[in-house]
Amino acid sequence: MPPIRRLVLDVLKPHDPNAVRYARGVAGLDGVEGVNVVLVETDRQVETVKLTVEGSEISFETVRERVEDLGGSVHSIDEVACGEQLVEQSETPQD
């Protein structure tokens, strides 16, 4: 089965742990080479973040478990890239 090279997840998380701890927590997983956490929305008790994970062989289940261990939940999978190389999204007339 081709490896997952990029995951972009919509995550709902508490304010604590902060984005730095979240990024480091996911970046430490096997097969992960880089993580980006972007704040999308903040509320009184929670934050919505876009979590982008790139690597050589990412395990979705392991990432989901780490997100949950850090008190968050995956709301949606917004992008997945699989295979030997990353393929960037192309613009289409609908864009």
If you classify domain 4-82 with CATH, what class do you get?
Answer: alpha beta
* pLDDT of 72: 97
From edge to edge, which strands make up the β-sheet containing 73-82?
32-42, 46-58, 4-14, 73-82
pLDDT average, residue stretch 10-34: 96
Instruction: Locate the domains of the chain by residue range.
Output: 4-82
Average pLDDT over the chain, rounded to an integer = 94
Q: Say how many CA atoms lie within 13 Å of 32 toward its Cβ.
A: 22
The alpha helices in 11-73, defined as continuous H runs, are 19-27, 60-69
What predicted TM-score, i.e. pTM, was given to this entire model?
0.90
Higher pLDDT, 93 or 13: 13
